[in-house]
Amino acid sequence: MSDFRAIVVSRDEEKRQSVALTRLGEADLMEGDVTVRVSHSTVNYKDGLAVTGKLPVVRRWPMVPGIDFVGEVIASADPAFAPGDSVILNGWGVGEVHLGGWAEVARVKGDWLIKRPDGLAPADCMAIGTAGYTAMLSLMALEAHGLAPADGPAVVTGAAGGVGSVAVMLLARAGWHVIATTGRPEEADYLKGLGAAEIVERAELSGPAKPLAKERWAAGVDSVGSTTLANVLAMTKAEGAIAACGNAGGMDLPSSVAPFILRGVSLLGINSVSVPRAKREAAWGRLAAEIDRGKLAAMTATVGLDDAIDTARAIADGKVRGRVVITVG
């Protein structure tokens, strides 16, 4: 195997972090039974944190960022995959403790992969990416809880971000009246184009949360956490549920038990990192069937590997709208 391009985050003896586009060889790859020629990856919020070091996402040094990728198998000791198979990876600590998708070659465990579903081109898969996959897992959790559009509106926090953008699209397509919250009011037209019926400024959910507040929605997808999620819970209708899938606003939850014991509200935790293969395949199968290709294209920008570092810094600063695909190989 010849050398290949990769972005590497490193740390020196004094724990000063640096990041650079460089070249790696086969000897640099980590353990795994499937080797993949990566065609596309994405810039996720977690990748932004890994590149900037704003939070301790990286737990193995040096590290190749990229928590997801799509590509073609070039070697496999796993009987589930053969050379030439097109595969997707989301999560499993890739880009955190295992070299990730911002490299032209990746070696991973076959258990972490699924085959790319029919109907989605490789670039489409990464336009959806872990963000869109997480949004679908959130929708599936709300449905499994028994909630439907007839129960009332659905709120989406951080709506202009990657998870939020796809969540708005999927919920609207499923028939929900979607209330999108964002700290970027200039993105109102963008969000309405994805299907949002109402736009709420983030400031309305940023103050200290009351134990209970006026009921406004029956369901929701929250990628912010902290005070925002506490306010969302306080405003959720009786027997409603919120799918929590992110912590862009913080890991804390300054809430009370009131929504849970006085209204029967449920908080549904969404794990997109280590999901059983059958559930991953179900989520991606639904994405292939339900995603609106036109709206997906409207929310997606594409950059090369050369521009991934700057884009990661921008997403960590909250300056990126929607999804960013990296053309890797």
On whether residue 292 sits in a domain, the answer given is: no
> Tokens 């998870």 — which residue?
163
User: Is there a domain that residue 237 lies in?
Assistant: yes
Domain that holds residue 306: 4-116+299-327
Same domain for 145 and 263? yes
Q: For position 178, which CATH number holds? A: 3.40.50.720
Q: CB of 212 within 8 A of CB of 232?
A: no
pLDDT tens-digit map of 240-258? 999 999 998 999 999 999 9
- Assign residue 54 the CATH number of its domain: 3.90.180.10
Domain assignment of residue 294, yes or no? no
Q: Is residue 124 part of a domain?
A: no
Cβ-based neighbour number of residue 145 at 10 Å: 15
Alpha helix ranges (H) inside 151-234? 162-173, 188-194, 226-234
Same domain, residue pair 136 and 243:
yes
User: Is there a domain that residue 281 lies in?
Assistant: no
Query: Do 186 and 317 have their domain in common?
Result: no
- Average pLDDT, integer, range 48-67: 95
**Domain count for the chain:** 2
pLDDT at 329: 87
Q: Is the pLDDT of residue 106 over 80?
A: yes
Q: 3-class DSSP state for residue 128? A: helix
**For range 207-235, the mean pLDDT:** 97
Encode pLDDT of 158-181 as tens digits.
999 999 999 999 999 999 999 999
Identify whether residues 84 and 173 lie together within a single domain.
no
**Does residue 1 register a pLDDT over 80?**
no
